């Protein structure tokens, strides 16, 4: 009897960005993720495109030598994002337009879909401005950026604590145990997270177990959800900042 070969689970979009395209490693993963977040942050309104040069993005990301080696690294990352269908680079003469795309390619393999904001369509998180203004975008490694996004996804502004259940976490985010540990350590070293040990009772074994409970520092949390002013009866809506 032939032995069935189990297919490896497909990487999540986040872990795919951490890896090189041949899945052999994660070189440049931190820059790819931070650059894509920055492109979305800066181009959050129509036409979701820009002609800013690589040096601009390198400086915004806090890269060393932003007009030299930093700009070259950004250009390489831009072409990588283009190859993955997350952006489209359209060159006309010396100028290159960067056009945002949806985060997944069409099933039939055609050109990437034009970017549309996720509001009201799918779950999303809002990354606080301090990711850039406090220098996290330039200092964090790929594991650090990935775990910061995971931490934001597991918390709200008014509920900033989380703990990690290994099986649930791996199924949801696809981050390896080693990357998870490196990222959490990095975030605590940078003051993004604090950690305390909590003792609880396992519902399966009824034994006392210890677990790490992490808390996001206030300045690095998702912004508070917008609410209309009840006193003056203001109405209307803006994109929600909580997970939907």
**Around Cβ 86, how many Cβ atoms within 10 Å?**
24
Q: What's the CA gap between 117 and 180, in Å, rounded?
A: 29
Q: Which residue has the higher pLDDT, 126 or 4?
A: 126
Domain 13-100 - what CATH class? mainly alpha
Residues in the chain: 244
The answer to whether the CB of 163 falls within 8 A of the CB of 200 is no
pLDDT tens string 82-110: 998 899 999 888 889 999 998 755 444 56
Query: For a pLDDT cut of 70, what percent of the chain falls above it?
Result: 80
Same fold, 13-100 and 130-220: yes
Can you list the alpha helix ranges (DSSP code H) found in 84-226?
Answer: 130-133, 136-139, 142-153, 166-173, 177-189
Q: How far is CA 127 from CA 80, 136, 228, in A?
A: 22, 11, 22
Q: What is the pLDDT of residues 193-234, one digit of tens each?
A: 999 999 877 767 778 888 899 999 999 999 887 655 544 444
> Over 50: is that where the pLDDT of 72 sits?
yes
| pLDDT tens sequence across 170-199 | 888 999 899 999 999 999 999 999 999 998
Q: What is the pLDDT of residue 22?
A: 54
Q: Domain locations in the chain?
A: 13-100, 130-220
Higher pLDDT, 11 or 144: 144
Q: Domain 130-220 carries which CATH code?
A: 1.10.10
Residues 16-24 have a mean pLDDT of 71
C-alpha gyration radius of the chain? 20
The more confidently predicted of residues 131 and 19 is 131
Read off the pTM. Answer: 0.82
C-alpha atoms less than 13 angstroms from C-alpha of 189 in its C-beta half-sphere:
10
Which sign does the torsion angle of CA 150, 155, 156, 161 carry? negative
d(CA 242, CA 244): 6
Structure letter (DSSP) for residue 21? T
**Which strands form 49-50's sheet, in the order they lie side by side?**
49-50, 95-100, 87-92
Q: How far apart are the C-alpha atoms of 132 and 229, rounded to whole Å?
A: 30
H/E element, 29:
helix 29-42
């Amino acid at each position: 009897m032939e032995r069935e070969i189990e297919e490896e689970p497909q990487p999540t979009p986040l872990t795919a960005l951490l890896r090189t395209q041949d899945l052999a490693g994660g070189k440049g993963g931190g820059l790819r993720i931070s650059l894509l977040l920055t492109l979305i942050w800066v181009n959050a309104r129509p036409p979701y495109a820009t002609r800013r040069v690589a040096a601009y993005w390198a400086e915004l990301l806090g890269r060393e030598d932003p007009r030299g080696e930093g700009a070259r690294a950004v250009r390489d990352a831009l072409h990588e994002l283009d190859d993955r269908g997350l952006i489209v680079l359209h060159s006309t003469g010396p100028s290159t337009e960067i056009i945002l795309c949806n985060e997944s390619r069409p099933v039939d393999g055609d050109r990437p879909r034009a970017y549309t904001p996720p509001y009201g369509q799918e779950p999303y998180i809002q990354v606080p401005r301090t990711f850039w203004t406090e220098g996290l975008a330039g200092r964090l490694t790929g594991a650090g950026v990935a775990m910061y996004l995971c931490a934001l996804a597991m918390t709200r502004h008014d509920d900033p604590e989380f703990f990690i259940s290994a099986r649930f976490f791996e199924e949801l985010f696809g981050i390896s145990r080693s990357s998870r540990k490196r990222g959490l350590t990095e975030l605590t070293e940078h003051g993004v997270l604090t950690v305390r040990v909590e003792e609880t009772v396992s519902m399966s074994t009824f034994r006392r177990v210890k677990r790490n409970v992490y808390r996001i520092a206030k300045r690095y949390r998702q912004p508070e959800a917008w609410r209309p002013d009840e006193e003056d009866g203001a109405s209307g809506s803006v994109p929600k900042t909580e997970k939907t």
